[in-house]
Structure 1
Amino acid sequence: MSPYQSWAYGLNEIRFQGAEGGFSREALSELLEKVPLAIAVTLGAQQRFAFANRLFRSALSVPDEDLIGRTVSEVMGDRYTPELQDAREKTFQTGEPQELKDYPLVLTPGTTTYWDIKLLPVRDGDDRINGILTLAAHVTERVKARSEAEIKAREVTLHNERLALAVEATEMGLWEWNAQSGETFWSDRQKEIFGLAKDEPATYEFWYSAIHPEDREHVVSSIGALSEPRSGGQLQLEHRIIRPDGEIRWILSRGRMLYEIVDGELKPARLLGTVVDITERRRGEEVRQLLVQELNHRVKNLFAMTSGMIALTARTAQTPKEMAAALRGRIEALARAHELIRPAITGSEPADGETSIEEIVQAILAPHIIQDGPPQMTLDGPPVRIGAKAATVLTLVLHELATNASKYGALSVAEGRLAITWMQGAMLTLLWREENGPAVAGAPAAEGFGSKLARRSVTDQLGGAIAYDWQPEGLQVRIDLPLSQLRT
C-alpha cells in the first residue's frame, strides 16, 4: 500500500484507492491514534498487523514496534479465542462484516474486559479482499452496570416472590386505592374473600355494596376520615361483608394512607392495605363466649337442681338415713350426667366410642327421677347407637330439658310424668312429652339461654331441627336428627 493511497469509507467495508492528495500513512496514523476506539488493520491471509492505534496497543499491552508485521495469532496467543478466529476468517473469506457484542477478553491475567467488536473487510483497487479493519469499543463499564442492574432486578423479583409467598401463606388479600384517580387494585386473594371472580374488575360500587348494611356507615366514615392528614393515615377495621352468594364473612382490614404535597398542601394520594378473612376466629370467639355463659348457667342450675333434689327427697324419705342415701345417689347420678356433657360445655374432645340413646337418657334423667315413688319416666324406642359427637350434643340438649323440667316442669312435682320416645325413619326423631306438672301458661316471652344453646347445638353441629310446643298440660319437644350425623 502506497503512503499516498487514500482510505475511502463504505458502509460495510473499507477500500484503499490511489488518489492525488489522499491521506498519507503518517497523517492517517496521527488521525486515528487518539480516537477512543481500539483500531487495527491487518493485511493478507495470514492477518499481519499493518496498523494499530494507541488504545489497541494498550489493550494488548504490546508496543507498536513489536506489533507491526506480526500475525494476530502471534500477538494475541492464547487470547485469540476460537470465536474471534472464526469471525475474522468469515470476514476475510466472504467480505461480510462481523460483529461481536459484549465480547469477553482476558487481555491481562486475572482481568476480564468486554468489547463491542466490528470486523470490516479491506479491499484493494481490484476489489479483492486483502485485509481486515478491526474497530473495538471498550464496554466493560456498560456490561458491569447492566449486570448489576440484572442482579438487582433478580433480587427484586426474588423479594417479590418471597413477599407473594408470605402473603399467600397468611392468606391475606392485598388492595390499593388511588385517591386522585379512583382506580382500584385487588389481588386474587382479595377477590376470593369477597366472592368476586378473578377476571372481574374491582370497583368502589362493588366494595360498597359488599359491606354489611349494619357496618357500612362505620366503615365508610372510618375510611373517609383518612383524607385528613392529621388522622395519621392508619386504618384497622373488623366488619362483616356479604358475598354475592349471600354468605356473610368477617374480615380484618388494615390500611395506610400515603400523602403527597399538591400546590403546597398535603393531600391524600394512595391507600394501601390488606384484608384477612377472620370468620372462623369470630365464630370461635362467639362459641367461647357462649361457653362462658353456659358455664355460668350450669353453675346456677346445679345449685337449683341440688335444692330441688333435697326438697323432693325430703318429701318421700321416711328417716334422715334414708334421705341421705337417696340424696347421695341422686347427686352421684348428677355428677355422671355432668361428666357426659362436659365436652360440650368446655370445648374439649368427646370420648371415643359409641353409646346408645337409651343409655344417654337414663344417665341424664337419673338425678331428677324420684326412685322410690311411682315411675315418673317411660322410655320407648329401638336400639340406636350414636357416635361421640352426636352423643355429646344430644346429652347437652337432654340435660337442658331435664334441668328445666326439674325446676319448672313435670319433674318438679312428685306426680309429674315424662315420656321419651324415639323412632328411626328418614331421620331419627325423638319426642319429649311432659304431663301432670305445673300448668303451662304458654311459650315464654323470650327464648332463654338454655333453649337457645340447645337449638344451636342441634342445628349448627348436627344439621337437625328442634321444635318446642308449650301445651297447657306440659311441654312437648320434637328433635329431628339426620341419620348421617348419628355416627359422627
Structure 2
Amino acid sequence: MTMSDKRRPALLSANPYGAGLPLAELLERCGIGIHRYDVRSGRIDWDPLIHRIWGFAKDEPVTYDRWCAAVHPEDRAAVEARVAAALDPQGPGMYEAQYRVRPVDGGPEQWVHATGTVTFEQGQAVRLEGTVQRLHYPSLIEGKLRQSEERALESTHEAAAVYEAAPLGIVLFDTDFRFKRINSRLAMINGLPPEAHYGRAIEEILPPETCAALRAIQPRLLAGEEIGGIEITGWDAVAGAETSWLVAYRPLRDGARHVTGFLGTIIDITERKQAEAREKLLAREVDHRAKNLLSIVQSLATLTRANTIEGYREALGNRLQALARAHALLAHAGWTRVDLGAIVARELEPYAGATPDRCVASGPPVALAPGAAQAFALVLHELATNATKYGALSVAAGRVRIGWTADDEWLTLRWQESGGPTVVPPAGRGFGSRLIEQSVRRSLRGTVHKDWAPSGLVATLSVPTERLLAE
C-alpha cells in the first residue's frame, strides 16, 4: 500500500478545513457530489447527493443511458460530446460542463457543474471519476432573464400601443416598396385594413402620382439617404375630406449596414396648411382693403371743396371720421359682415343729440359686406351733414326718419326729413351729392332719387340685394 493509500481513510474521515467534519459530509454541505463511471461495464456509482439531484432512489442502479436521459434535451448533445472527447485516447482526458438536469422523479429542474478525469489502461479509457456540484446562480440568472423577458415583452406591448395610437401614419416597406407593416392610422387613411396591405406593392394600394413620387426617391433610399419634407395632398378616408400630409422616409439597415427596407412616417398638416392659406388670404384681403381705402381717401381728398384751409380740413376730417366709424364696426365683426342698422345708428349718433326721436331708424336685419358698409356710411354721413347745414337737423324741431325694406332682389332705403326750414332745391350739385351718387351707383350699382319737397328732403336709395354682400 502506498502512502497515499494509507492516508485516504483519514481524508474521508477528517479534513483540515471542516472543523472535524468527514469529507463526504463537508462536500454534501457544499452541494458537491462524487461520481464514478466504469467505462467497461457501463455502471455508474453516485453518492447520495447526486442520486437526489437526478431523482433516483438511494440504492437504485444507474447506467449511462439513464444518466443521459435526465440531462435537459437542449444540453444533452453538448454534454455527451464533451464526455466522448474526454474518453478519447487522443483527447484531453478530462471534461467539464454546465448543464440542466430534469429529475426522473418529477422534481424541479436544476443546474449542475460537472467535472471528470479519465483513467486510461493500455491506451483505453477504463474509468471516469469526478464531481457534480449543484448550482444555484443559474436559477437566479433564469429569474433575471425571465424578468428581463417580461420587461421586454411589456416594452414591446407599450411600443405596439404607441405604434397603433400615434397621431401619425407609420409604414415599413421592403426595398421594393412592398408593405411589410402598417399601423391602423395609415391603413385607415388608405381605406383598407392593415392585413390587406401586407406583401402588396405600392401600385396596388396607392394613387399613381404617389407611387411615381416614391419610385423616384427609391434609388436615393437604397443608397442610404434619409428623405423628408415631402408634402402631399389627397383624400383622407378617416376625415372624409381632402387632407395635406408631411411625409418622410429613412432606410432601415441590418447588422452589416445593408439597407433592408424603408420606414415611412406621414403627419397630418392640414390645419397648418389651412392656417397658411388663411394667412395668405388675410394678407390679400388686407392689401385689397388698403388699396380700396386709399382710393376712397384719395377721392375724398380730391373732391372735397371749401373756401378756407380750415373748412377743407374740417370737411375732409368729418368724412374720414364717418369712414372710420364704419371700419370700427367691421373690425369688431372680424371684417366679415356688419348689420345695416348698426351702420345707420353709428353714423347718426353724432347728430341725434339729447332728443330721443330726433333721428329714428327702423328696418329688418340686413348684412353688409365691407365694401357696401363703407359706401352706406359715406352716403349717410353726407345726408346727415347736408341736413345739419341746410335741412331738418339745422333746427331744434327738425326730425329725420330712416327706414328700409329688403327682398330677394332689392334693398330700398328711405331718408325723410321734417320740421326743418322750407326746402329750396339746390341750383347745382355739390360734392356731397356727387359723393352720394358715386357711392350708390358705382360701388353698389344702385340708384338715388331725391325729392326736394318744401316740407323736407326725401331721398330714396335702391340697391340690388346681390351687391350688399359683394366684395
TM range (shorter): 0.3 to 0.5
TM-score w.r.t. the length of structure 1 is 0.46
The structure having more radius of gyration, on CA atoms, is: 2
